[in-house]
Amino acid sequence: MNNENWLGAKQLSLATSLRLLSTASLVICGVVFVLPPALYFEWAMDVDARTLRTEALLNAQSVLALSTQQPDSWSTDLSLLQELFSSENDVDDDEERRSVFSASGQLLLEQSAQELDAPRLTELVLIGDPESPIGSVAVTRSVRHVWLESASVAVGSLVFSGLLLWFMRGVLLSALRQAIEKLQEEKERALITLRSIGDAVITTDSEMRVQYLNPVAESLTGWTTEEAQGLLMDEVFFIVQEESRAPAVNPIKECLQSLQIVEMENHTVLVRRGDGQEFHIEDSAAPILHSDGRAIGAVMVFHDVTERKASQQQLKHTAFHDTLTGLPNRQLFRNRILTATEASRADGTITAVLFLDLDRFKGINDSLGHSVGDELLILVAKRLRQCVRESDTVARMGGDEFTAVLGGIHSVDNVRLIGEKMLASLANPFHIEGQHLRISTSIGVSLFPQDADNLEDLLKLADSAMYQAKDSGRNNVQFYTPDLNTRATEKLQLEYALHTALENNEYALVYQPKLDLTTGKILGVEALLRWVSPERGIVMPGDFIDRLEETGRIVQVGLWVLKTAIQQAKHWLDAGCPKVVSVNVSAYQLRQSGLVADIAGMLDAASLPAKWLQIELTESLLMNDADRSDFLFADLLGIGVGIALDDFGTGYSSLGYLRKFPIQELKIDRSFVTDIDSSETAERVVKTVVELGQALNMYVTAEGVETAEQLLRLRAMGCDAVQGFHLARPMDSEALDVWLTEFQPSADISFEI
């Protein structure tokens, strides 16, 4: 991989320092070589010159003295001069030569005729008054020895400087080697780091030309180092703004201008060469600075944050959406109402807030299990979405509560139409885990600006309209009207009153007899709950059982019912007119663990044999959660309690459980019995159920028999028993005692009262 430039800056400064150091060592060695001989030469010549001069002066003095003593003969009688020089100077004739000249410059005496070695140094001194000298003396000496000595000094310093140079070079070289090794090591380390880190790295020169890409950068940009080298950074690293898609400013450009580290916000998207794949990236660029402060390149580090970005978006989505259905949640829904009402305020249209509650969803959840409940909610969400425009919002507030906000509405009729469309859509059966489920829905609507002009009130009013829809028989759409507020208050009061009803002993049981059509005898009675409210009078279970279930209070109330019914059954047993007392048990109650043990305990306490108690369950209970139902049935059978299947035909069409569970009695729902005269279908259903019961060896009772005709038909069909107003209305135990004594059992009774 061509990455030599990566550490170029360092190499550059290293080479310069080496060059400098080499020159310096050469200069030092040159000086060391030249200076000592030169200095020695200078010094030695100076010493010789001074010596010669002194000698010449002394000789001139002697000659002057001689000329004073022998003014006439000193210059003619050469023996005088020869004597003078031989006595006064003890010189080595080999090295020096003295000459005496007359005033006219004629050589009078030359002490040694021997030729002196070159080079030579001569000092000439005038004799006597310099203005009118009588002659001159010259002393000449060979200075060859000075040259020779200087030469030997030069040889010595040459050797020394050579050694010095060798030493310095050696030191430098090893320092350089070390530096290079270190550099190499550093480079390797840097390269390995660059190759192994998860971040992408691109380096450029100061002109923004790409020099190096690490493998991550290569895969993110779609360029290899070889291909990208020398190209401009903008070409290789192509980034655009996430939202506007406009080309984004390359951080390297900014960093080279500012000479500072530049961090980019993570709103840039890198577009890969070739396949055009996009990556959300986070990047930063730093300049590579030379020691003199100038930028010689830049490094850019970036990483792919696409996944993080996606998970952030996912988190954001989760924060505003319901995880089960994917619909907007409460918070987003509130925002959408605000947006819609703002728009309505601006264009004078209507915004409708719809509050939807699935009727008796809790029962489905409790009896069929949460997985069925969840699946149902998902399907409901889908259907609701299909009922509204793309611009409308359907949200889930939690549980089985859905909401919708419809904006830009011109007519209230449109809202009603959409509400009814929702009802119709949700009324179609749902197919979940092989079962056909039917639900109904109650919808409450509030309108902006008619009903309220703020979010909180709109929600509150739609909610109370929804309760009104429930109260008006469910499965309908109710628009908010001011008197709903009063009803809402009433509802709250009802809930409060229910809360204290058990403590205040306000519950009572009534009993409705069942006539056995074969024997004409009253073999059993059904215990039915009443709330005798001091304010409201007698309240029917249809008006409060749901509330008890919603609040969970059904558990305590249910135990009270069982206990009272058991005591009553014991009373009849003791009185000699034993009756099987049937008690309705809701799904919610059954889900509470320990119910069977409680029943056993109560039977025990009352000393009532279990066969005088029967539990009425609805079909939904038996569906799904088969293991749990298995245990439950086994336990109930274990203690000897009978089981009846109530409201048969209204629930679920899968009847596999009839074989599976030990049910002794089927109670055909009133709706079929009522229609038995008018509808062939109803008649056929009843007939089939009777036959099914016979085939499975079950006792079949028809509920809600109101006419003698119905009774006779049912008997003709082979129905085992009847229960209904035609025979008797539910009544309290005392009234029933009286009724029982008056009732005349007969095998072919016509019951025409």
State the residue for tokens 């100077």. 89
Handedness of CA 532, 537, 542, 546 (dihedral sign): negative
- Tell whether residue 568 is a contact of ligand C2E (CB under 6 A): no
How many angstroms separate the first and last alpha carbons of the chain? 109
Ramachandran angles phi, psi of 132, nearest 5°: -135, 70
Site string for ligand C2E, 494-523 (x = CB under 6 A): ------------------x-----------
- Tell whether residue 647 is a contact of Mg ion (CB under 5 A): yes
In the complex with Mg ion, which residue's Cβ is closer, 375 or 646?
646
Select from 81-89, 215-223, 372-380, 699-707 the region that touches ligand C2E (CB under 6 A): 699-707
Distance (Å, whole) CA 663 – CA 110: 166
In the complex with Mg ion, which residue's Cβ is closer, 526 or 625?
526
Residue 135 binds which one of ligand C2E, Mg ion, none, with CB within 5 to 8 A depending on kind?
none
The answer to whether 531 and 506 are in contact (CB under 8 A) is yes
Distance (Å, whole) CA 111 – CA 7: 79
Select from 234-242, 311-319, 598-606, 698-706 the region that touches Mg ion (CB under 5 A): 698-706
Number of continuous H segments (helices) and E segments (strands) in the chain = 24, 27
In the complex with Mg ion, which residue's Cβ is closer, 445 or 545?
545
DSSP-derived pairing of the beta strands 210-213 and 350-358: unpaired
Distance (Å, whole) CA 295 – CA 208: 11
- Tell whether residue 540 is a contact of ligand C2E (CB under 6 A): yes
| Radius of gyration of the chain from its Cα atoms, rounded to whole angstroms | 62
Minimum distance of ligand C2E from residue 552's CB (angstroms): 13
Distance (Å, whole) CA 365 – CA 625: 11
Half-sphere exposure of 522 (CA within 13 A, CB side): 25
Site string for Mg ion, 60-99 (x = CB under 5 A): ----------------------------------------
Site string for Mg ion, 536-575 (x = CB under 5 A): ----------------------------------------
Choosing from 469, 599, 724, 733, the residue that interacts with ligand C2E (CB under 6 A) is 724
- Tell whether residue 542 is a contact of ligand C2E (CB under 6 A): yes
Choosing from 30, 541, 638, 656, the residue that interacts with ligand C2E (CB under 6 A) is 541
The answer to whether 709 and 682 are in contact (CB under 8 A) is no
- Tell whether residue 538 is a contact of ligand C2E (CB under 6 A): no
Minimum distance of ligand C2E from residue 663's CB (angstroms): 15
Within 8 A by CB and 6+ apart from 720, the residues are: 516, 517, 518, 693, 699, 700, 701
> For Mg ion, how many residues bind (rule: CB under 5 A)?
5
- Six-digit token pair at 656? 């596999």
Distance (Å, whole) CA 212 – CA 1: 9
Choosing from 283, 616, 625, 665, the residue that interacts with Mg ion (CB under 5 A) is 616
The alpha-helical segments, DSSP class H, found in 197-297 are 215-221, 225-228, 233-236, 251-258
In the complex with ligand C2E, which residue's Cβ is closer, 216 or 548?
548
Residue 719 binds which one of Mg ion, ligand C2E, none, with CB within 5 to 8 A depending on kind?
none
Minimum distance of ligand C2E from residue 444's CB (angstroms): 25
Site string for ligand C2E, 651-690 (x = CB under 6 A): -------------------x--------------------
> For residues 12-51, which are near ligand C2E according to CB under 6 A?
none
Minimum distance of ligand C2E from residue 350's CB (angstroms): 40
Minimum distance of Mg ion from residue 662's CB (angstroms): 19
Query: For helices 595-606 and 554-574, what crossing angle results, to 10°?
Result: 30
Choosing from 377, 384, 528, 599, the residue that interacts with ligand C2E (CB under 6 A) is 528
- Tell whether residue 584 is a contact of Mg ion (CB under 5 A): yes
Select from 194-202, 302-310, 539-547, 600-608 the region that touches ligand C2E (CB under 6 A): 539-547
Minimum distance of ligand C2E from residue 705's CB (angstroms): 6
Minimum distance of ligand C2E from residue 723's CB (angstroms): 6
Site string for Mg ion, 241-270 (x = CB under 5 A): ------------------------------
> For residues 579-608, which are near ligand C2E according to CB under 6 A?
584-586
Within 8 A by CB and 6+ apart from 456, the residues are: none
Distance (Å, whole) CA 525 – CA 160: 134
Minimum distance of ligand C2E from residue 617's CB (angstroms): 10
> For residues 619-658, which are near ligand C2E according to CB under 6 A?
646-647
- Tell whether residue 725 is a contact of ligand C2E (CB under 6 A): yes
H or E segment to which residue 513 belongs: strand 507-516
> How far is the CA of 49 from the CAs of 54, 119, 147, 297, in angstroms?
9, 13, 14, 67
Distance (Å, whole) CA 409 – CA 340: 10
In the complex with ligand C2E, which residue's Cβ is closer, 25 or 512?
512
H or E segment to which residue 137 belongs: strand 135-142
Distance (Å, whole) CA 626 – CA 648: 19
DSSP-derived pairing of the beta strands 350-358 and 295-304: unpaired
- Six-digit token pair at 319? 């924060």
In the complex with ligand C2E, which residue's Cβ is closer, 30 or 541?
541
- Tell whether residue 586 is a contact of Mg ion (CB under 5 A): no
H or E segment to which residue 288 belongs: strand 278-289
Strand residues in 399-465 grouped as ranges (E): 401-409, 430-432, 435-437, 441-448
> For ligand C2E, how many residues bind (rule: CB under 6 A)?
24
Give me the residues that bind ligand C2E (CB under 6 A), please. Answer: 512, 528-529, 540-542, 545, 558, 561, 584-586, 616, 646-647, 670, 703-706, 723-725, 730
- Residue ranges binding Mg ion (CB under 5 A): 584, 616, 646-647, 703
